[in-house]
Amino acid sequence: MQLKLSVLDQSSVASGRGPDEALRETLALARRAEGFGYHRYWLAEHHNSPAHAGSAPEIMIAAIAASTGRIRVGSAGVMLPHYSALKVAEQFRVLEAIAPGRIDLGVGRAPGSDGRTAFALNPNAAHAADLFPQQIRDLLGWLGDGLPADHPFRAVRACPEVPTRPEVWVLGSSDYGAQVAAYFGLPYCFAHFITDGVGAEEAMELYHRHFRPSPHLAAPYAAVAVFALAAATEAEAERLFLSRALWRIRRDRGLYTPLPSPEEAVAHPGSPEERARAAALRAQALIGTGEGVARRLAALAASLQAAEVAVLTPCHDPLARIDSYRLLAEAAGLSAAGPQRAAAE
């Protein structure tokens, strides 16, 4: 079976450009990704971050779904503890009305922000994450499964009640999300790009071992979200990666800054510790030519029992980012009218 490739977009803010430009770049890339043959286009959720413009994925999903015709569009993910499950169900039913059969609702438990911002979003943030499994039960109930007989809001209906429903995913970077996805019989995506792969094998193994078939999914279906970057030459890929490396080094120190340009990264002097960290990041980075990156993605997916890879490619140059996805799609043999369409249907 051909490996499915999808796009994960954080709407990264690049130095020298504003968050409004980042969002417009997301809209432009989504249309190109559909033409390249990618299976899904997922939008991330971050708050109070100068590094990311995507604070409202449901709005971006609507804009992308309305301007595309084939590619699945969804969240990766909505940080469910911030919100009412009923409100999320209603938002995504509206999205289903806009693009029937093309909407994904990926949910996560992490705050996607700092602790203070989590409390600003939900005053009950101290305990909200503990209710994640209950929220998923309620979300599925309001999307059509029905709520338990003794549920206090059983009579409340999530409107609009449309013929189709979004495909619900659980996203995570630890074994917790894997176990929740397995329990509810939902597809699961491991955030490899957050942990640099640490814990991926354990989470995937737990998911497959404990998966319980559900009305929505008869067998486990797993994906992995990774950072990857392709260019025409190895040297160009190395140059473009300098931005990501410096950004990660800053993030490790708790600094969420706009993505620097390769030139800014070259000019950054760096301490011995930073240079060592940059070398370690480079050693494990999935970068290179389209053919080389495609081979490594396929090998990674096979090792993790993942049927799909969602590719995250923050890049300071928006044209280089588009070119990266194009090169990868060509190397992987994607086609907008080929196997990807059949898989979506």
Cα distances (Å, whole numbers) of residue 144 to 63, 141, 163, 188, 195: 25, 5, 10, 20, 34
Give first-to-last CA distance, the chain, whole Å.
16
Residue 247 contacts residue 51 (beta carbons within 8 Å) = yes
Please answer whether residues 246 and 268 qualify as being in contact, where contact means their C-beta atoms are separated by less than 8 angstroms.
yes
29, 319 contact by CB (below 8 A): no
Contact 187, 213 (CB under 8 A): no
DSSP codes joined into one string, 224-235: EEEEEEE-SSHH
Exposed/middle/buried for residue 277 (C-beta within 10 Å: 0-12, 13-18, 19+):
middle
For residue 254, cis peptide bond before it (omega within 30 degrees of 0): no
- Domains within the chain, CATH numbers bracketed: 4-233+288-344 (3.20.20.30)
DSSP sequence for 118-131:
HHHH-TTHHHHGGG
The per-residue pLDDT string of the chain (345 residues; one tens digit each, 9 = 90 and over) reads 578 999 999 999 999 999 999 999 999 999 999 999 999 999 999 999 999 999 999 999 999 999 999 999 999 989 999 999 999 999 999 999 999 999 999 999 988 788 899 999 999 999 999 999 999 999 999 999 999 999 999 999 999 999 999 999 999 999 999 999 999 999 999 999 999 999 999 999 999 999 999 999 999 999 999 999 999 999 999 999 999 999 999 999 999 999 999 999 999 988 999 999 999 999 999 999 999 999 999 999 999 999 999 999 999 999 999 999 999 999 999 986 543 333 333
Q: Is the pTM value of this prediction over 0.85?
A: yes
